[in-house]
Structure 1
Amino acid sequence: MIYKTNVMGTLNMLGLAKRIGARFLLTSTSEVYGDPLEHPQKETYWGNVNPIGERSCYDEGKRTAETLTMDYHRGAGVEVRIARIFNTYGPRMCLDDGRVVSNFVAQAIRKQPLTVYGDGKQTRSFQYVSDLVNGLVALMDGEHVGPFNLGNPGEFTMLELAQVVKETIDSSATIEYKPNTADDPHMRKPDISKAKELLNWEPKVPLREGLPLMVNDFRNRILNEDEGKGMR
């Protein structure tokens, strides 16, 4: 269903954009790079994706969505923009969406161990949501199709991220190790030179500034959630 949503959903929206003459924004993902053999990743890198792996429905779904978007741009004259979004965090995220930042924050607030998959040495780059929004606005207001990497080049291992979460929420929090998931990328860091040059964009909010804003939101919602359970 993930692959079908990415492909059919994109196809339907491209058809609509063609009919009404709208500019189309594809929110693609850093997952198109798979488990990259290039580091950091430039937009010119074609990726290293396992097409039959457990993650491939999302990776290949987004890669196909990019193909469709460029086909409609070249073949039907649809005005398009493509953003490859790297890990993003901030207030209003789903409490249990399975993403590593929301997982760690919710677990620390609930006094649960922070779940680290594998050895925790795999890296990710985390951008605050307002930086992403500014990047998307710059992309849509500009004249360049893309794709553009939109992410924060600050790179953290999962263990380093867990440490920042502990410092922000609960220094006594513990870490629980679990087996890693299949085809989990070892490294993930955007090269944003293209966005800086053509969009005049780069992220402004470092992790240690953005994370407390997310924590305040999560703490309030988890507290209300717990109060609601107590009232039943």
Structure 2
Amino acid sequence: MMKAAKHVLVAGGAGFIGSHLCAALLERGHTVTCLDNMQTARPENLARLKASPRFSFVRADVTAPLPDDVTTPARPFDRIYNLACAASPPQYQRDPEHTLLTSVDGTRSLLRLAERMGARFLLSSTSEVYGDPDSHPQAEDYRGNVNCIGPRACYDEGKRAAEALTFDFGRLSRAEVRVARIFNTYGPHMHPDDGRVVSNFLCQILRGQDITIYGSGEQTRSFCYVSDMVAGLLALMEAPGQVVGPVNLGNPNEITIAELVDIAFAVTGFDVPVRYEALPEDDPQRRRPNIDLARKLLSWEPQVPLQDGLRATADYFADLLSRSNAARSSPVKTERREDQVAFVAQ
């Protein structure tokens, strides 16, 4: 980990993972500049961060020329994390042109900034570069099975291009670079309506709605709690020596979507009907990271059990939905079961 206090830029720092990363950096004594266009982030994610005198927020889009607060800060950046890009399919498919350009043009701008300042750069890539994999589990040397013209291509291909650009800068010694391939991550600060499976299931249960399973429910995912993911990102950024390729970060414990529903019922104490709908185009059937490289290079692996992480996430959503209903003056029913509190909108 960084021993001397650094100035760190976190692009996408108001988002789900980014806001937790900013908090972890502040806790370690660093000065943090958060850059975000707030397209998918929630302002509440920044509330506690803004209380720190070592935190500053710049509202801007990485697809546009970077503002002076970023290009000419009072103190140059020592580290640059690029987490700027919508990550849930409904969000990134809403404006596919912007999604792709965020990964390509945004990464280029931030790499050039890292080159000019001599900052170390980390790109948050994604397991989506593996597409619907025909190799399982997915290791970093697997080249993927991506539909380059499908509805998810704006995100998948954007991240693949961003990786190529990042490693080109590294090969040419223009910047010291790292690339994390992030697998399914969940936890507090997720948007309740971002369309990802954990937020979908928990919020549907807490709202008293039917749970929607897309496909048969037998497709698999591997879920990593956000604190574990942040620890992995920090470890990768500060790994000594040169890191010459991407590193998978995720939880290797694979479960079916149907099993996730059962755990969600258990941690909330509620049971609602389940309905099935067609699987979206190019949605992967199996997803599980091989994290042997992260274990060897970073001495990192996830620590938070899924049930514990889902319980903390459910508590976060319960509080969020309760406050949202209170703000709208809607009656909210509070029920307790096995010492767990859940809220259901009437």
Where relative contact order (Cα < 8 A, 6+ residues apart) is larger, the structure is 1
Q: Confirm whether residue 169 of structure 1 aligns to residue 268 of structure 2.
A: yes
- Residue 131 of structure 1 and its aligned partner are, at CA, apart by 0.4
Counterpart secondary structure, 1:205: coil
Partner AA of 2:139 in structure 1:
K
Instruction: Render the CA deviation track for 1:47-92: whole Å, top value 9, x for unaligned.
Output: 0001101111100000000000001111243100110000001111
Q: Provide the C-alpha distance between the structure 2 equivalents of 1:154 and 1:207, rounded to a whole number of angstroms.
A: 9
- Residue 193 of structure 1 and its aligned partner are, at CA, apart by 0.4
Instruction: Render the CA deviation track for 1:170-201: whole Å, top value 9, x for unaligned.
Output: 44211111111001111000000000011100
Match of 2:124 in 1: 27
Percent identical: 53
Q: Provide the C-alpha distance between the structure 2 equivalents of 1:92 and 1:186, rounded to a whole number of angstroms.
A: 26
TM-score (norm 1): 0.97
Q: Confirm whether residue 5 of structure 1 aligns to residue 106 of structure 2.
A: no
TM-score (norm 2): 0.66
Match of 1:227 in 2: 326
What is the number of equivalent residue pairs in this alignment? 232
Match of 1:61 in 2: 158
Aligned equivalent of 1:218, options 291, 298, 317 = 317
Match of 1:136 in 2: 233
Q: Which has the larger radius of gyration?
A: 2
Q: Confirm whether residue 155 of structure 1 aligns to residue 215 of structure 2.
A: no
- Residue 156 of structure 1 and its aligned partner are, at CA, apart by 1.2
Counterpart secondary structure, 2:328: helix
Matches within 5 A, 1:19-168: 19-143=116-240, 144-145=242-243, 146-168=245-267
Matches within 5 A, 1:187-226: 187-226=286-325
- Residue 120 of structure 1 and its aligned partner are, at CA, apart by 1.1
Q: Provide the C-alpha distance between the structure 1 equivalents of 2:317 and 2:299, rounded to a whole number of angstroms.
A: 32
Match of 1:15 in 2: 112
Q: Report the structure, 1 or 2, having the larger strand content.
A: 2
Is the 1:85–1:151 contact (alpha carbons within 8 Å) kept by the matching residues of 2? yes
Is the 1:69–1:80 contact (alpha carbons within 8 Å) kept by the matching residues of 2? yes
Q: Provide the C-alpha distance between the structure 2 equivalents of 1:96 and 1:3, rounded to a whole number of angstroms.
A: 22
Instruction: Render the CA deviation track for 1:130-167: whole Å, top value 9, x for unaligned.
Output: 10011111101113423110000011111111111011
Segments of 5+ residues of structure 1 without an aligned counterpart are none
- Residue 216 of structure 1 and its aligned partner are, at CA, apart by 0.8
Segments of 5+ residues of structure 2 without an aligned counterpart are 1-97, 331-346
Instruction: Render the CA deviation track for 1:7-44: whole Å, top value 9, x for unaligned.
Output: 11001100111111100010000000000010000001
Is the 1:108–1:170 contact (alpha carbons within 8 Å) kept by the matching residues of 2? no
